[in-house]
Amino acid sequence: MGKLDGKVAVITGGASGIGQATVRLFVEEGCRVVIADLQDDKGARLAEDLGKSATYLHADVSREADVSGAIAHAVTHFGRLDCVFNNAGAGGVTGPIETIPAEGFDATMGVLLRGVFLGMKHAAPIMKRQGHGSIISTASVAGLQAGFGPHVYSAAKAAVVHLTRSVAMELGESGVRVNCICPGGIATPIFGAAIGAAGGPEADRVAELMKTLLASRQPIQRAGLPEDIARAALWLASDDSSFVTGHALLVDGGLTGGRMWSVVQEQREQLRRALGLGG
């Protein structure tokens, strides 16, 4: 038996990266999934590959009609709604604060925060009526500590964390759980998009390169993979986490834990050598 047998989920940004890994894992665990994304070719191919357990729907998460439509499609196509994973995202506008255009701020917030809000808003009445459900959103370590992402991205992810906690306090009384995941350095095409290689094979090559570049940034000496976040989402979507709500789940290999032990020891030895102290 799968952990999600009989359940139905909507996964935004489900055509690539973390979203695609989560779609595949959820289907393996018995879930039927609505893949909501802007990448029509990738989304349609993924749905075709997964057969009757998945369907693809074009959706821009910054547009309320698209989000409400994806959630309604889950109910009409599969007959129910058990999980919404607000995962769609992008690096958004970048640069020093004085150079960021207001329209770039609005567009970034539209995807990263408004999209999450809309997913929660339109899942809530369905899940409240049925007395159960799991709403999951992708936040980031950049929403917990400064220095891990661009300014607006970081602010949006911090807002996702707090919105998660706030909405969990409302919906928990109706049996609905609301949590988010804070990934660390995950090797996905989003890094390619950040340097202007969005959507093409260059972005995929950047994702492969990031596996090497991210491997030594945290105590667990490998890059995070989309599958690591998918497994966290599976736990939050399943009954295994039935007593967990309002939680920001860190999946970062220890990145935000502090300075690595080896770095501390190397600095200690440098100081001893500078002072002329022996071993």
| CATH number of the domain that residue 260 is part of | 3.40.50.720
Domain count, the chain: 1
Task: Read off the pTM.
Answer: 0.91
Establish if 3 belongs to a structural domain. no
Q: Summarize pLDDT for 203-232 with one digit per residue, the tens.
A: 667 667 777 777 778 888 888 999 999 999
In the structure, what pLDDT confidence band is assigned to residue 267 with cuts at 50, 70 and 90?
confident
Establish if 123 belongs to a structural domain. yes
Establish if 216 belongs to a structural domain. yes
| Longest distance between any two alpha carbons in the chain, whole Å | 74
Establish if 279 belongs to a structural domain. no
Establish if 2 belongs to a structural domain. no
pLDDT of residue 204: 65
In the structure, what pLDDT confidence band is assigned to residue 194 with cuts at 50, 70 and 90?
low
Respond yes or no: is residue 153 known to be catalytic. Answer: yes
Catalytic residue among 50, 153, 193, 229: 153
Higher pLDDT, 41 or 196: 41
Mean pLDDT for the stretch of residues 72-93: 97
Establish if 1 belongs to a structural domain. no
Sheet holding 32-37, edge to edge: 54-58, 32-37, 8-12, 83-86, 133-138, 176-183, 248-251
Domain that holds residue 154: 8-274
Q: Summarize pLDDT for 141-152 with one digit per residue, the tens.
A: 999 999 999 999
Compute the Cα dihedral for 144, 148, 154, 160 and give only its sign.
negative
